C-alpha cells in the first residue's frame, strides 16, 4: 500500500509539539527553571517520537528527537569555516593589559585620555565551536580545528540540550555563524570521572579535556550521555541580517534567540573599570560552577573592532586577560600508596604544601606505575602540579634540570601496604591490586562507596566515621552497618547522644533503596550507576541478577564482555554470596515494577537486529518486556518476531530462513497498540 501523506492536522500538531518541547528545553537547560515535571516532559517527547515513527516523511531537521544521538561515525567530516576562527593575544598581568589599552587607543586613533568602552566577559575554559544557522535552523556545528577547517560535529552538538536547534525569532538571518565554547561543569566533570573510575575506564585530567573528549566521540550516544554545556559570544559570517552595533547588544540578541550566554559581563569605561572587573571575577572564580582561565576584554563597538584590525591571527581589538593558572611548582617529599575499593593500589605524591588557585595542596595523584615511569617521577623531584575542580591534583611534569642526583625511584610494592597480602598486576592492566580478602583499606572504601548519595545514601555517614567504624572492628562487612547498636556508635570519637541517634536513624532509613542503588552500591567492578540501572530494569530482583549467566547479560544493550564477566564472577564468589545473603536479610530493595503495559506480547520471544529509526535497543527491550514479551540474543525456531532496523545483519537472514515474522519499528509499535490479532 502506498504511504499516505500525513494530513495537515497531524503536521500542525507535530510542529506545535516541537515548539512546546523547545520552550521546555530552554526553560530547563538555559534558564534552569522548568515549568513542567519530568514525567510531563517525557509524555510530550514520546508523543513526538510516535508521530515521527508513524509519519517518517514529517521528521524535521530541528526535531528534538535528534538530541539523543544517532549512528556512530567512522570519522568526522571536515568542515570549512566561512570566516576563519582566530585566536586571542594574552595579557598575563595588569601591566600587560594597560599596554593593550594604550595600543588600542593608537589603533582606533583615540585621544590618550579617552576612556575606551570595553565589553568584558568570562574566558570559558573549554573548546571553541562554530554553529551555522540557516534561516534560523542549526545546519552545522564544527570544532575550531586549525582555524580554517574544523571537524563537523553536528550530530554531537545537537545532543547539547541548551543549544537551540532553531533560533527563537520570526526574522532569522539568512545565515549566521555563531561562536562559543563547549564546557563541562566541574560537578559534572567530577561525576563523570567517578563513573569512569567505577567502570575502570580512563579518567580525565580536567573539565576541558573531559569536554573535548566527550564532544569528539564518534558515537553521539556517548556524547548525549555527557551533560555538556555551552556559552556563546562570537560571530563569523553573517548574511541577510543587520548586526547590532556593539558586542553587548549582539550578546543580548543571542540570548533573545535562545542561545546561552554568560551571566558575568560588564560594559567598562576605560582600563580602571576593566581592572576592577578582573579583580571582582578573580574573587568569585572559585565559586563559579565551571572553570575559567581569565576574562576576555573587547572593544565594544564592532566598528572599532574593525578599525583596530588584526595582527598575525588575532584581532587587535580584543585580549585574553588571564589569571594565574591552577598549576604550580612544588617538591615530591614522599610517595605513598592508597588502597581503593577494588584493591587498586594508587601511588600518591606527598608534596611540600603549596597554594594552587587559592587551595593548599599536600597530595597529588600519580595514577599508576606506568604513569610514574612515563613521567619519570622520583622522590625528591621538583614537579609541576595542576588542580582541576575539587579532585586531587596531579603531577604533570618533572623539572629534570633541578635534579641533584639523590632523588629516589619508586616501585609499587608487591605486598598491600595495609594488610600485607600479595598485590598483583594482571596482564594488560595498568593497576596493581591487593588480593587480600580481609583488607581493611578495601573494606573502608567499599563501605564509603556503599553508603554514598548515589548508592544507598546514608546521610551523615562520612569518610571519617567509616574509617572509625572499620578501625574499631564494628564493621567487618557491609551488613554489619545495619547491626550497629547505640553503645557502639556512642563510644566513637566525636559522638554524643543526639548525633548517635541521628546516624542510626539515617542507617535505618536506608533499608529500602531502589534496586539499582543497591546493585551500584555493591561495587561490582565495571558496574557504574548507568549499568546498575540497566541490570535492575532487566532482572527486577537481586536474586535473579545473582544467578544470571554471561550469555543472559550479553543480551543487554550496554553490557559488554568484560562487564558481564565481572558481574558473574562477583556473584559466583562464595564470600560475596554469604555477604549478600546477610545484606538481604537487613535490606529490602524496591524492585522496579514487573510490567506496566497491557500484556499484549505475553510469552512472545523477540530478537533485535540493526538500528531502529527512533528506538534505542534498550527502549525496544523495555517496551517488549513491559508488554509481557522476552528478548533473546539469537534467532531460533522459538523466536516469534525479529524486530529489524537499518543494517540488520545475519539475524535477519536467519529469520527469513526459518520463516520468522520480521517487523520494522512502525509495525512493532502498531503491535504494541493493537496487540496480536
Selected binder of ligand IVH within 41, 204, 233, 410 (CB under 6 A):
233
Name the closest residue to ligand IVH (Cβ).
Answer: 128
86 lies in the binding site for ligand IVH (CB under 6 A): yes
Among 234, 236, 258, 340, binds ligand IVH (CB under 6 A): 234
Catalytic residue among 4, 123, 444, 669: 123
Q: Output the CA torsion 62→64→70→75 (10° steps).
A: 50
Coil vs helix vs strand at 537: helix
* 322 versus 669: smaller Cβ distance to ligand IVH: 322
CA dihedral angle for residue 590, residue 594, residue 596, residue 601, rounded to 10 degrees: 170
Q: Extract the C-alpha cell encoding 268.
A: 567598562
Examine residue 177 and tell whether it contacts ligand IVH (CB under 6 A): no
304 touches ligand IVH (CB under 6 A): no
Asked if 123 is part of the footprint of ligand IVH (rule: CB under 6 A), the reply reads yes
CB nearer to ligand IVH: give 320 or 530. 320
The nearer residue to ligand IVH, 172 or 315, going by C-beta atoms, is 315
Helices (H), 108-226: 154-157, 186-198, 207-215, 220-224
Site string for ligand IVH, 317-356 (x = CB under 6 A): -x-x------------------------------------
Residue 318 C-beta: closest distance to ligand IVH, Å: 6
Q: Are 361 and 385 in contact (CB under 8 A)?
A: yes
d(CA 535, CA 556) in angstroms, rounded, equals: 8
- Min separation Cβ 161 and ligand IVH, Å: 21
Q: Which residues contact 567 (CB under 8 A, 6 or more apart)?
A: 524, 526, 527, 535, 545, 548, 553, 559
Residue located via cell numbers 567517578? 194
Largest alpha-carbon pair distance within the chain?
88
> And the C-alpha cell for 40?
510531563
Nearer to ligand IVH, 123 or 226 (CB): 123
CA distance 579 to 86: 60
Quick one: 288 or 504, whose CB is closer to ligand IVH? 288
Q: Does 87 bind ligand IVH (CB under 6 A)?
A: yes
Nearer to ligand IVH, 122 or 631 (CB): 122
Q: Which is nearer to ligand IVH, 150 or 523 (CB)?
A: 150
Note whether 88 binds ligand IVH by CB under 6 A: yes
Residue 417 and residue 423: Cα distance in Å, rounded? 9
532 binds ligand IVH (CB under 6 A): no
128 binds ligand IVH (CB under 6 A): yes
Give the three cell numbers for residue 476: 567487618
Residue 375 falls in the annotated catalytic set: no
Name the one range near ligand IVH by CB under 6 A: 119-127, 170-178, 362-370, 378-386: 119-127
296 vs 431 by CB, closer to ligand IVH: 296
* Distance (Å, whole) CA 635 – CA 572: 29
The one among 124, 232, 257, 321 contacting ligand IVH by CB under 6 A: 124
Name the 3-class secondary structure at 603.
Answer: coil
Pairing of the two strands 265-269 and 432-434? unpaired
- Asked if residues 296 and 121 have their Cβ atoms less than 8 Å apart, the reply is yes
What backbone torsions phi and psi does residue 258 show, to the nearest 5 degrees? 100, 10
Per CB under 6 A, 176 contacts ligand IVH: no
Instruction: Give me the least distance between CB of 326 and ligand IVH, in Å please.
Output: 16
Residues 661, 642: contact at Cβ < 8 Å? Answer: yes
Closest separation in Å from C-beta 264 to ligand IVH: 10
Residue 28 phi/psi, 5° resolution?
Answer: -80, -50
Which member of 207, 213, 315, 479 binds ligand IVH (CB under 6 A)? Answer: 315
- C-alpha cell of residue 625: 518486556
267 binds ligand IVH (CB under 6 A): no
* Residues annotated as catalytic (active site), given as ranges: 123
Query: Given the rule CB under 6 A, which residues bind ligand IVH?
Result: 86-88, 121-124, 128, 181, 233-234, 296, 315, 318, 320
Amino acid at each position: 500500500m502506498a504511504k499516505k501523506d500525513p494530513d495537515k492536522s497531524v503536521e500542525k500538531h507535530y510542529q506545535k509539539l516541537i515548539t512546546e518541547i523547545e520552550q521546555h528545553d530552554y526553560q530547563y537547560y538555559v534558564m534552569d527553571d522548568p515549568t513542567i515535571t519530568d514525567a510531563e516532559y517525557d509524555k510530550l517527547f514520546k508523543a513526538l517520537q510516535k508521530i515521527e515513527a508513524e509519519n517518517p516523511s514529517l521528521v524535521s531537521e530541528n526535531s528534538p528527537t535528534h538530541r539523543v544521538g544517532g549512528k556512530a561515525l567512522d570519522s568526522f567530516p571536515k568542515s570549512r569555516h566561512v570566516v576563519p576562527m582566530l585566536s586571542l593575544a594574552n595579557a598575563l598581568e595588569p601591566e600587560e593589559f594597560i599596554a593593550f589599552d594604550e595600543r588600542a587607543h593608537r589603533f582606533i586613533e583615540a585621544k590618550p585620555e579617552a576612556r575606551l568602552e570595553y565589553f568584558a566577559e568570562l574566558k570559558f575554559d573549554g573548546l571553541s565551536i562554530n554553529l551555522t544557522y540557516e534561516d534560523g535552523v542549526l545546519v552545522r556545528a564544527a570544532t575550531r580545528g586549525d582555524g580554517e577547517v574544523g571537524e563537523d560535529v553536528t550530530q554531537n552538538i545537537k545532543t547539547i540540550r541548551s543549544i537551540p536547534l532553531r533560533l527563537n525569532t520570526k526574522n532569522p538571518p539568512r545565515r549566521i555563524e555563531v561562536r562559543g565554547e563547549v564546557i563541562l561543569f566541574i560537578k559534572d566533570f567530577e561525576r563523570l570521572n567517578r563513573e569512569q573510575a567505577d567502570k575502570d575506564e580512563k579518567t580525565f585530567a580536567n573539565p576541558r579535556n573531559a569536554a573535548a573528549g566527550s564532544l569528539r566521540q564518534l558515537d553521539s550516544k556517548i556524547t548525549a550521555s555527557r551533560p555538556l554545556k555551552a556559552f556563546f559570544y562570537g560571530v563569523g559570517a553573517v548574511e541577510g541580517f543587520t548586526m547590532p552595533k556593539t558586542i553587548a547588544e549582539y550578546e543580548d540578541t543571542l540570548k533573545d534567540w535562545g542561545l546561552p550566554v554568560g551571566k558575568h559581563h560588564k560594559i567598562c569605561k576605560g582600563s580602571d573599570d576593566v581592572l576592577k572587573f578582573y579583580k571582582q571575577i578573580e574573587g568569585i572564580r572559585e565559586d563559579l560552577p565551571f572553570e575559567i582561565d581569565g576574562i576576555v576584554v573587547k572593544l565594544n563597538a564592532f566598528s572599532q573592532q574593525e578599525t583596530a584590525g588584526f595582527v598575525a591571527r588575532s584581532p587587535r581589538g580584543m585580549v585574553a586577560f588571564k589569571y594565574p593558572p591552577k598549576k604550580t611548582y612544588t617538591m615530591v617529599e614522599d610517595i605513598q600508596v592508597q588502597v581503593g575499593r577494588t584493591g587498586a593500589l594508587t601511588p600518591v605524591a606527598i608534596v611540600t604544601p603549596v597554594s594552587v588557585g587559592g587551595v593548599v595542596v599536600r597530595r597529588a595523584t600519580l595514577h599508576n606505575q606506568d604513569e610514574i615511569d612515563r613521567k619519570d617521577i622520583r622522590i625528591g623531584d621538583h614537579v609541576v602540579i595542576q588542580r582541576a575542580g575539587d579532585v586531587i591534583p596531579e603531577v604533570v611534569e618533572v623539572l629534570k634540570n633541578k635534579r641533584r642526583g639523590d632523588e629516589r625511584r619508586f616501585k609499587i610494592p608487591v605486598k598491600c601496604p595495609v594488610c600485607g597480602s600479595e598485590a598483583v598486576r594482571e596482564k594488560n592492566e595498568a593497576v596493581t591490586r591487593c588480593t587480600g580478602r580481609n583488607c581493611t583499606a578495601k573494606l573502608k572504601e567499599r563501605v564509603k562507596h556503599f553508603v554514598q548519595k548515589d548508592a544507598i545514601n546514608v546521610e551523615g555517614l562520612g569518610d571519617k566515621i567509616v574509617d572509625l567504624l572499620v578501625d574499631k572492628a564494628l564493621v567487618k562487612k557491609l551488613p554489619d552497618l545495619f547491626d550497629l547498636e547505640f553503645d557502639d556508635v556512642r563510644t566513637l570519637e566525636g559522638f554524643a547522644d543526639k548525633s548517635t541517634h541521628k546516624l542510626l536513624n539515617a542507617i535505618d532509613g536506608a533499608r529500602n533503596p531502589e534496586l539499582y542503588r543497591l546493585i551500584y552500591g555493591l561495587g561490582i567492578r565495571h558496574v557504574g550507576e548507568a549499568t546498575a540501572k540497566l541490570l535492575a530494569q532487566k532482572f527486577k530482583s537481586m536474586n535473579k541478577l545473582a544467578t544470571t549467566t554471561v550469555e543472559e547479560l550479553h543480551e543487554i544493550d550496554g553490557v559488554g564482555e568484560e562487564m558481564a564477566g565481572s558481574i558473574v564472577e562477583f556473584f559466583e564468589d562464595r564470600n560475596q554470596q554469604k555477604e549478600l545473603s546477610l545484606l538481604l536479610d537487613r535490606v529490602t530493595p524496591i524492585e522496579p515494577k514487573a510490567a506496566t503495559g497491557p500484556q499484549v506480547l505475553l510469552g512472545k520471544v523477540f530478537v533485535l537486529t540493526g538500528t531502529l529509526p527512533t528506538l534505542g535497543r534498550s527502549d525496544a527491550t523495555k517496551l517488549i518486556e513491559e508488554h509481557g514479551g522476552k528478548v533473546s540474543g539469537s534467532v531460533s525456531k522459538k523466536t516469534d518476531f525479529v524486530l529489524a532496523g537499518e543494517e540488520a545483519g545475519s539475524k535477519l537472514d536467519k529469520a527469513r530462513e526459518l520463516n520468522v515474522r520480521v517487523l520494522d519499528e512502525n509495525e512493532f509499535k502498531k503491535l504494541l497498540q493493537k496487540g496480536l490479532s
